[in-house]
């Protein structure tokens, strides 16, 4: 049995809102089916507005789809009884793109990481502290960071704290929505490395949502492409992305920017003149 199964999910926004009454027919997701096996990472690529985050929210139980089912370890997350839902919530964590707005600015790193532990584990004060220090070390931080506030961390460090919190309950699946997109390459590489380690050590699975082809390729095992709410490609092996003849995929590949000014394609109209 797959860890997560998305079955024929269709969704459009606005059914409960008077503002978009007329848009009700416009589908944000149409007939999406996919699955994630334990210990693997499914990458989801797609243009801005394609519906990636919406699918993420549907999987997290935050946006009930109009049609279709989300099965987590075989249980429908929207109809399961409270006991099972509580278990699912514990095993299903999320890390968003913006590390700063995901945390309470008035809480220390220790409090931020402690929150899920306090909700689910009844640890003694000493045990909890030890657990938090271990988590910090796991993500490359240390005990000295316990009492720091969010503004005292860089974006990359804070994203590690978000990851520490997400893994604190040893979940089965983490939904990562553009979690490394705003980080520089040095920090991106460190975090992707960390995610890979956690996957190997704890058998974690990821649903890795991104618009960034390189990071998706680095971390994923399987890969899907969402375009205007439709899952146009689903690859059992990520390498297929590079040989696919699908026009959307070809366009994506063709738009990757070369990382050297010699291969510029945007500023070509004027000759580059050397300035002092």
Partner 1 sequence: MLGTEHPNVLQVSDLHVHVKSNNGINTLVQDINITLKRGKILGLVGESGCGKTVTSMSILQLLDRKTKTIEGSIVVKGRELNGLDDKEMRKIRGKDIAFIMQNPMNAFTPVFTIGHQFIETIRSHTQWNKKQATEIAIEAMHHVNLPNPVKLLKYYPFQLSGGMLQRVMIAIAACLHPAVIIADEPTTALDVNNQKIVLRHLDKIRSEYGSAILLISHDLGVISEMADEVAVMQNGKIVEKADVFQLFDEPQHEYTKKLLNARSILHLDEPIIHFA
Ligand X SMILES: Nc1ncnc2c1ncn2[C@@H]1O[C@H](COP(=O)(O)OP(=O)(O)OP(=O)(O)O)[C@@H](O)[C@H]1O
Ligand Y SMILES: Nc1ncnc2c1ncn2[C@@H]1O[C@H](COP(=O)(O)OP(=O)(O)O)[C@@H](O)[C@H]1O
Residues in contact with partner 1 by CB under 8 A are 13, 19-20, 23, 45-49, 52-53, 97-98, 100-101, 153-157, 178, 181-189, 192, 211, 213-215, 217-218, 239, 242-243, 251-253, 255-267, 269-270, 272, 274-275
Cα–chain-centroid distance for residue 181?
10
Residues numbered 228-247 forming contacts with ligand Y, rule: CB under 6 A: none
**Measured from the CB atom, is 28 or 132 closer to ligand X?**
28
| Alpha carbons 182 and 171: distance in angstroms, whole number | 24
Cβ at position 154, least distance to Mg ion in Å: 9
In the chain, the N- to C-terminal Cα span, in Å, equals: 63
Q: Does 28 bind ligand X (CB under 6 A)?
A: yes
Q: Which residue is nearest to ligand Y (CB)?
A: 151
Cβ at position 16, least distance to Mg ion in Å: 21
| Alpha carbons 231 and 227: distance in angstroms, whole number | 6
**Measured from the CB atom, is 13 or 120 closer to partner 1?**
13
**Measured from the CB atom, is 152 or 237 closer to ligand Y?**
152
Q: Does 122 bind ligand Y (CB under 6 A)?
A: no
The only residue of 142, 154, 239, 255 in contact with ligand Y, by rule CB under 6 A = 154
List of residues contacting Mg ion (CB under 5 A):
53
Rounded to 5°, angle at Cα 163 from 157 and 169 = 145
| Alpha carbons 241 and 149: distance in angstroms, whole number | 41
Q: Does 152 bind ligand Y (CB under 6 A)?
A: yes
Cβ at position 240, least distance to Mg ion in Å: 24
**Measured from the CB atom, is 149 or 217 closer to ligand Y?**
149
Cβ at position 157, least distance to ligand Y in Å: 8
**CB under 6 A: which stretch of 41-49, 185-193, 239-247, 251-259 binds ligand X?**
41-49
The only residue of 43, 46, 65, 156 in contact with ligand X, by rule CB under 6 A = 46
Please compute, for residue 81, the number of CA atoms within 13 A of its CA located in the half-sphere on the CB side: 1
Q: Which residues neighbour 79 within 8 Å (Cβ) at sequence distance 6 or greater?
A: none
261 binds, among ligand X, partner 1, ligand Y, none (CB under 5 to 8 A by kind): partner 1
132-135: long-range contacts, CB 8 A cutoff, minimum separation 24: 132/164, 132/168, 135/164, 135/165, 135/167, 135/168
CA distances from 98 to 85, 123, 177, 192, 243 (A): 27, 30, 9, 16, 32
Enter the tokens of residue 63.
């946006």
Cβ at position 48, least distance to ligand X in Å: 3
Number of shown-chain residues binding ligand Y (CB under 6 A): 4
Q: Which residues would be at the binding site for ligand Y (CB under 6 A)?
A: 151-152, 154-155
Residues that bind ligand X (CB under 6 A): 13-14, 28, 46, 48-54, 211
């Amino acid at each position: 049995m797959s860890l997560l199964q998305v079955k024929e999910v269709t969704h459009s926004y606005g059914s409960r809102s008077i503002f978009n009454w007329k848009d009700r027919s416009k589908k944000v997701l149409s007939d999406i089916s996919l699955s994630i096996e334990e210990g693997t990472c499914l990458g989801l690529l797609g243009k801005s507005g394609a519906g990636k985050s919406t699918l993420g929210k549907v999987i997290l139980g935050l946006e009930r789809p109009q049609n279709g089912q989300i099965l987590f370890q075989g249980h429908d997350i929207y109809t399961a009884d409270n006991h099972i839902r509580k278990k699912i919530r514990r095993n299903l964590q999320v890390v968003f793109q913006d590390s700063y707005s995901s945390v309470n600015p008035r809480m220390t790193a220790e409090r931020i990481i402690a929150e899920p532990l306090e909700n689910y584990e009844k640890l003694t004060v000493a045990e909890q502290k030890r657990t938090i220090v271990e988590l910090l070390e796991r993500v490359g931080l240390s005990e000295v960071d316990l009492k720091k506030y969010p503004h005292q961390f860089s974006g990359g460090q804070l994203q590690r704290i978000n990851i520490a919190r997400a893994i604190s309950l040893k979940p089965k699946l983490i939904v990562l929505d553009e979690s490394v997109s705003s980080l520089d390459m040095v920090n991106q590489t460190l975090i992707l490395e960390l995610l890979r380690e956690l996957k190997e050590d704890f058998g974690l699975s990821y649903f890795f949502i991104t618009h960034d082809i390189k990071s998706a390729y680095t971390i994923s095992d399987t890969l899907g492409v969402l375009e205007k709410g439709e899952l146009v490609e689903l690859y059992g092996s990520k390498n297929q992305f590079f040989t696919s003849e699908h026009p959307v995929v070809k366009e994506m590949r063709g738009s990757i920017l070369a990382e050297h000014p010699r291969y510029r394609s945007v500023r070509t109209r004027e000759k580059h003149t050397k300035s002092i």
